[in-house]
Amino acid sequence: MHFRKVENFDNLEMSYISDFSGAYIARNKNLLNELNLNPLTQFILEKSVFGTPIFKLGSCGNRLLILSGIHGNELPPQIANVKLLNELIKEDLNNTLYFIPFASPKSTMNNERTFNSIDLNRSAHINNSLSNLIIKAILDLKINFVGDFHSTARNANPGFESVFSSKSPTPESFLIANYISRDVGCDVISFDYSGSTYRGAVEDVCNLKGIPAITAEVLCPFANVARGSVERSFAQMKSFLSYFGV
Ligand SMILES: [Zn+2]
């Protein structure tokens, strides 16, 4: 996977996960209304027209991935991820951070959960599905830890603010989830073994490959942005990073 330096934004590098998932995210007005449309944010939206971009800051320490948009209609984490990239681009980092703010720009544009009717959090184990290409990038880049950020509606699964993890085969998943839970004040949902209830979640596929991963959820109606939900997703991301001293 080849990263190139981005003109006009020192420190920033980017590459693509795929070239078949791009779309005009700005057509999602519920999302657009909540973004601060500065030059970096506009740049991210422009690059998302051509596929799923992945951005990189820093070059030493642990390699961490902040992932959002696996479900395109879960808006708070996608907005928080863009905000996080905007904040951290100004920092001198002691770790290498990868950001995928919009895993599936097409799903985000359409404000829908699935990509071409496929749930990306049930298909990460299927060769060359869009979320499987994210897994391949994680392996290729030797990313050490993965935070996958979602939102959940009150009547959906899980329906409350939480961090999913598993105790086996990658116990650090459970430790990270407990840390975030204590730090931001949400529940921990843990499974004894990754992927035992359903298959193909990004978190589970990572944990099964020995890469500690968590799924973090904030409460928000699907396809909308509830007051405070972006801030709470942002706090979960910051907490995930602070576990590693970022
Ligand atoms: Zn989700």
CA 112 to ligand 1 centroid distance, Å: 11
Confidence (pLDDT) at 17: 98
User: Could you tell me if 221 and 153 are in contact, meaning their C-beta atoms sit under 8 angstroms apart?
Assistant: yes
User: Residue 113: what are its φ and ψ, rounded to 5°?
Assistant: -65, -40
From the number of C-beta atoms within 10 Å of its C-beta (0-12, 13-18, 19+), residue 157 rates as: exposed
- Give the containing element (helix H, strand E) for 29: helix 29-32
Confidence (pLDDT) at 6: 96
User: Could you tell me if 80 and 237 are in contact, meaning their C-beta atoms sit under 8 angstroms apart?
Assistant: yes
CA 152 to ligand 1 centroid distance, Å: 6
* Model pLDDT for residues 36-79, shown as the tens digit of each residue: 999 999 999 999 999 999 999 999 999 999 999 999 999 999 99
CA 9 to ligand 1 centroid distance, Å: 30
Residues of the chain with pLDDT under 50: none
Question: Across the beta sheet with 63-68, what order do the strands follow?
Answer: 4-5, 13-18, 52-57, 96-100, 63-68, 145-152, 213-219, 162-166, 187-191
Cα–Cα dist 4/189, whole Å: 38
CA 5 to ligand 1 centroid distance, Å: 31
Confidence (pLDDT) at 23: 98
In DSSP terms, 217 is beta-bridged to 150, 162
Total of domains in the chain = 1
CA 8 to ligand 1 centroid distance, Å: 33
User: Could you tell me if 96 and 63 are in contact, meaning their C-beta atoms sit under 8 angstroms apart?
Assistant: yes
Domain that holds residue 110: 4-243
Confidence (pLDDT) at 8: 92
CA 186 to ligand 1 centroid distance, Å: 16
CATH of the domain at 30: 3.40.630.10
